Chain A
Amino acid sequence: MTRRVVGPFNRVEGDLEIKLDIDGGAVRAAFINSPLFRGFEQILVGKSPSDALVYTPRICGICSVSQSMAAASALAAMQGVAIPDNGALVQNLVMAAENTADHLTHFYLFFMPDFARAVYRAEPWFGAAEARFKAVSGTAAREVLPARAEFLHLMGILAGRWPHTLGLQPGGTTRAVGGSEQVRLLATVASLRRFLETSLFADTLEQVTALDSEAALDAWMDAAPSERGDLRHFLVVSKVMGLDKLGRGTGRYLSYGAYGMNGGHAFRRGIVEAGRPRAFRSAEIAEDHASSWLARPAAPAHPSHGLTLPEPDAPGGYTWCKAPRLAGSVVEVGALARQIVDGHPLIVDLVARGGGNARTRIIARMLEIARIVPLMEAWVRTIRPREPFCAHAAMPPDGECEGLVEAARGALGHWMEVRDGRIANYQIVAPTTWNFSPRDENGVPGVCEQALVDAPVREGEIEPVAVQHIVRSFDPCMVCTVH
C-alpha cells in the first residue's frame, strides 16, 4: 500500500487536496481535504440580517447568486413576505442563468480537457478530442467563452452584474423588466439555444429532453458521427473509456427542489433512496465534526443550532469541511440528484442500470441544460412588465429561518438566527460539503471519498487520470464547502 498526496486539483472551484491509498493498481481509500478556511459564519454574527445579502454571495464567485438566493429565501421566510410573480420569475431566471453557465463552464473548461492529456495519446480518439477540448488552446474554449459571456448579458439586464449581485431580495428582484428588456432577454436566451443546438447537442433541446432511456441515448449517440456535437463526442469517448464504471456514488440522492414557483418547484424536492422516492425533512440534517479541524459539539447538530469554530489541532481532523448527514446517511447532491428526484426517465433508467457514476453525472448536467433553457424562454414570456417585481416587508427583531435552494452543484442551505435585530448565528451547508465531506464519527467516508475507491491507477501515473475524472464529475466548489 502506498500513500500519495495529490493536489492542487485545478479546474475545480477553489482548493482541493486528496490523500490516496493505492494498492494493486487501484485506489483503496481516499481522504479529501478542503484546505482553505475563511470563516464566513463568524463574519456574519452581529451583522444586520439584510447584510447577509452582501456577504454570502462572496462565499463563492461561481455560484454567487445561489448563495444570494439562499440568504434571500431565509430572510423572506423570516419576514413572511409574499413575492410577486414577476419577482419569482426573475429570481428563477437569474438562478437558471447561473446554473446553466456553471454547467457549460464545467463541461468545456473543467471536465473535458482531461481527455486531451498526454496519457491518452495512444487512443484512437485522442486527436479529435485534443483539437476540440485541449485546455486554453482547443477550439471549444474559444467558442464557449464568447457564447457564455453573451448569455450572461441576461445578468446585466436582470441583476446589474454577475457575480455578486444585490438584485435578489427577499421580496423579489430590484430591477423591473420593461417590454424592451423582455424581448432582449428572449433574444439572449435564443442566442444560447442556437449555440447549444449547434455546438453542444447538434440537435434540438426538445429531442435531447425527450431521450427517455439508456437505449434511446445509445441510439441517439449512434445516429451521427462521433464528433457531431460535443455531448455525442463525450458519450463516445466515455463509452470507450468506461466512464460509467468510474466513480460510483452511494445511491442516495437529495434535492431541495429547484426554481420555486407558486409553492412548488420546476424540479421537484425530495429524496431518492435505493431507487425509491421519499419526502425531505430538514430536521434529518446533522453536521458531524469527527474528521474536521473544528471544535466538536457533544453530538452532530442540526445547522439551525450548529457551531463552526476552527480548531487546527483537533485530533483525527484532516479537513476544514464538516460531514453533513441526512438521517445519519451519506447522500449525493447535484444535477444527477435533481434529475433523479424529479424523475426524469433517462436519468432514472441510467441509474437503475449502472448507478450514479462519472458518466451519469455529466449526462445529468447536459440534460439539465436542455431542460432549463426552454423553461427560461417560458419564464421570460410570462413576465408582465407593468406589474411589480419586489414586495417590501419589515424584518422582525427576533426569529429563526432557513433558506433552501439548488445551486448548480446541488442542495444549498442557509440557517439564520436573529436576536435583537442582529444575526446571532448563521450556518451554511453547501452542495460540495455534502459531496466532499470527510469521514463521520462512524468512520463512514463522504460521497466522493467512496466514489474514488477502486479507481484504476495506470502504470507510472503520479496523479491518476481516473481520479481526475471522478473528482471533476462532481464539479466541486471548494470555496463554498468550508466558506
Chain B
Amino acid sequence: MQNLPGKPRRLNLLWLQSGGCGGCTLSLIGAESPDLLTALDIAGIDLAWHPSLSEATGFELHELLARLISGEEPLDILCLEGSVIRGPRGTGRFHMLSGSERPMKDLIADLAPLANHVVAVGTCAAFGGITAAGDNPSDACGLVYDGREPGGLLGPRFRARSGLPVINVSGCPVHPGWVVETFLQLAGGTLTEADLDGIGRPRFYADHLVHHGCTRNEFYEFKASARNLSEMGCMMEHLGCMGTQVHADCNIRLWNGEGSCTRGGYPCISCTEPGFEELDHPFTLTPKRAGIPVGLPTDMPKAWFVALASLSKAATPERLRKNAVADHIVVPPVGRQGKHQK
C-alpha cells in the first residue's frame, strides 16, 4: 500500500493501553493470513511504539511522546486499548503513566487531536466496557462514548486531523481481523465516514448480526431451544443469547481458526455493543415477560415473532427437538436415499 500514489511515506502507529486487560492485543497477535507483523508491513505501517511488542522502554517512550506532542514527529494512527480512567474524582490517579506524574487520560487527550486517525480498539476504549461495570469504581469511559451516551473523554464532536471521527473497533476482545482490515483501509485511504455505523464502528463487521452464519439457525427457525449450556439448541429462548440483536460477524468470520461463542456452546453476550457490561439480568439467562423473551430481533414486529414462533414450535421436527437438548447429534437428518429405499 505504501506504493499508492500520494502515499509514499510509511505511516507510524502509536498504541497506548489504559483501563483494560490487554486482551485486544493478545487477540490481535493471533492474526492470521497474514500474521500481524506481515500485515502491518504490507499496510506500510511502522509501530512507533506498542507496549507488548516494542523494544523501546521507559525514557525512550517518554522521549517519543515529547516529540509527538511537540509536533517534531507526526502521528498518523493513535490506538487506545482499554478504557479512559477518570477516577478518583476526576483526577485520573487510578491510572498514571508510569515513569511520570501524569494521568493517562491527560496524555490521551493531548495526543488525540494531533493524530491523523484515532482508533478505539475494543469495547473498553470505545464505550467504557467491562471496566465501567457495576458502580464503575474507576469512573471509566470510552474515547467518545460514556456507555451508551455520546461524550467520553474527547466529546461527541471530536474529529481526528483526517476529519474522521474516532473509529470504534468494539468487541471484548476485538477480533484480529477487524483491526487489521481497519488498518489496511486507513493506510490505503479508503475508509470514509460512510463506512462507519451510527456509533463509529466499521460497517464491514457491524452491518452483520452474530446470528448470521450461526450453526444453530435451524434450531432458531423451529424454536428448538437448549435448556442448559453445552446443549446444541438455540440459546435465545432460555440462555440469554443476544445474537439476533448484536452487530458483529463472529459467525461468518470465525475466531481462532474455527470458533465463535455460539459454536463454543455458549450465548452471545453482546460484547461489541455499548453497555454490554450491565445487562440488568444474568448473562446466561433470558429475561421473559409472559413467557416471551424480552429481547427479540429489533427489526421484527413482536406480534409476528410470537405468531411465527408458536407455529414453528408446533412444526418442530423430532430430530431438532431431540438434538436441541443433547450435546452432540443424536438424531441425524434422514437422507433422500433413505426415503427412496422405503
Contact = CB atoms under 8 A, between A and B. Distances in A.
Interface string A25-50: 00000000101111100111111101
Contacts of B267: 166
A463 interface: yes
Among A13, A48, A148, A320, the one with the most B-chain Cβ atoms within 10 Å of its Cβ is A13
Which interface residue of A33, A54, A59, A392 has the most chain B CB atoms within 10 A? A54
A154 B96 CA distance: 37
A159 interface: yes
B256 A161 contact: yes
B327 to A, nearest CB: 4
B93 A312 contact: yes
Contacts of A48: 282, 285
A38 B173 contact: no
Contacts of B263: 160, 175
A17 B172 contact: no
Given A38-B137, A157-B258, A176 B265 contact: yes
Interface in A45-69: 45-48, 50-51, 53-55, 58-62, 64
B52 A136 contact: no
Interface in B217-259: 228-230, 250, 254-259
A136 B99 CA distance: 24
Interface string A417-434: 000000000000000000
Interface in A159-181: 159-167, 169, 172-176, 178
Interface in B12-28: 17-27
Contacts, number: 264
Chain B interface residue bracket vs A:
35 or more
B46 to A, nearest CB: 9
Interface of B, helix, strand, loop or mixed by DSSP: loop
A163 B27 contact: yes
Interface in B303-338: 327-328
Contacts of A117: 55
A7 B21 contact: no
A33 B267 CA distance: 38
Interface in B159-177: 172-173
Interface string B36-73: 11100000000101111111111101000000000000
B250 to A, nearest CB: 8
25 contacts: A5-B99, A7-B99, A17-B99, A35-B96, A43-B133, A48-B285, A54-B269, A54-B283, A58-B23, A61-B23, A62-B22, A62-B23, A109-B52, A145-B36, A150-B257, A153-B258, A160-B260, A160-B263, A160-B264, A163-B27, A164-B172, A166-B229, A172-B230, A173-B230, A463-B59
Given A60-B22, A149-B30, A310-B94, 16 more contacts: A7-B98, A8-B51, A8-B98, A14-B17, A36-B19, A37-B137, A38-B94, A58-B130, A155-B259, A162-B255, A165-B266, A166-B283, A176-B328, A178-B328, A386-B328, A463-B57
Interface of B: 17-27, 29-32, 35-38, 47, 49-59, 61, 85, 88, 91, 93-99, 130-131, 133-135, 137-138, 140, 172-173, 228-230, 250, 254-267, 269, 271, 282-285, 327-328
